[in-house]
Amino acid sequence: MAAAGCDGSPSLRNDSSVKLWEQFSGENALRHVQQLVDFGPRPPGSEALEQARAYITRELEGFGWSVTRQSFTSQTPRGEVTFVNLIATFGSADARPVFLLCSHYDTKVFDDARFVGANDGGSSNGVLLEFARILAQQPALARKVQLVFFDGEEAYASFTETDGLYGSRYFAQQLVAAGKAKQFRGGILFDMVGDRSLTITLPPDSPADMTRDILAAAEALNVRKHFTYADTPILDDHVPLNKIGIPTIDLIDFDFPPWHTPEDTMDKISAESLDIVGSVAARYLVEVALK
C-alpha cells in the first residue's frame, strides 16, 4: 500500500468541466456540526439523537434527497436498544446508486461525563450533509450515490461481534438479504475528520486501489501531507461493508487526543480540515469512483 501511495502515475483523470471538489465548503460543513453539537450528547435512543435525526433528514430533503429510516432493535450490554439508520438517495428512494458515502451520527454513552462529540460523531456528518448539497448540483452524479448515516457505531462496553457497529452491521446484513450488495462498487466512510491538526490515518486494511487514488487526489490538491497510514488495525463501520464485498475506505484521524473525552468540543475542529477531507473525497468521486 505504501508503494502504491507513492506511485508517480496516479490513475486520476483531468476533467475541467466537472470540479465538484471546488464546490465543497468546509464552512458549511462546520455549521452543520455546530447544529448537531448544540443538541448535546446524542447516544442511541436519546431525545437529542432524535433531534439530530430530524435535523439531518430536514437538510437532506431540502437538497432533494429521499430519506428512509431503517429502524431495528438489537441486544446490547444495556439491554434492548432501538437504532435508526438514515439512508438517503437522490430524487427517489427507488434509485439504484452504486457508491456509498457513510458516517455514524451517534455519540458514545458516558454516565459521568458530558460528551458532545464534535469530532467523533459530529464532523463526519457535517461532511456528508455538505456532500448532499454539492451532489444535488450534479444530479447525474447524485443518483449514483447513497448517503448512509449509521446509528450505534459506538460500543457500550467494548467492541465485540455483538457490541458496537450496530448500524453498519445491520445495514450490511440487509443488503445481503436483499441481494443488493453487488449493486455497490465501493464506499467511503468518514469518521473524526475535523481535527484542527489533521492527519488522516488510513487503516492497514484499506483497499489498495482506493488508497492509491485517494492519495492521488490529495496530491493533486496539494494536501498529501495530511494523509498517512495507521500503525494498527482500526475497527470502524467500514469493516462490515468490506466483509460483504463492498470495498470501503475509512477516512479517519485516529490521532486525536480528545477522543472519547469531554474535551471533544467545537474548538478542537476546523472548517479547513473538513474542507480538506471533503475536497479530496469529492475529487476522487468525480475522477475515479463514479466514472
State the pLDDT confidence band at 10, using cuts at 50, 70 and 90: very low
Distances (CA, A) of 171 to 34, 68, 182, 240: 27, 12, 14, 9
In 3D, which of 91, 74, 98, 83 has the Cα closest to residue 150?
83
The model's pTM: 0.93
Write the pLDDT tens digit of every residue in 258-271. 999 999 999 999 99
State the pLDDT confidence band at 18, using cuts at 50, 70 and 90: low
Residue 239 has pLDDT above 50, yes or no: yes
Q: What CATH architecture applies to the domain 17-289?
A: 3-Layer(aba) Sandwich (3.40)
Write the pLDDT tens digit of every residue in 35-72. 999 999 999 999 999 999 999 999 999 999 999 999 99
- pLDDT score recorded for residue 62: 98
Pairing assessment for the beta strands 248-252 and 186-191 based on DSSP bridges: parallel
Domain residue ranges in the chain: 17-289
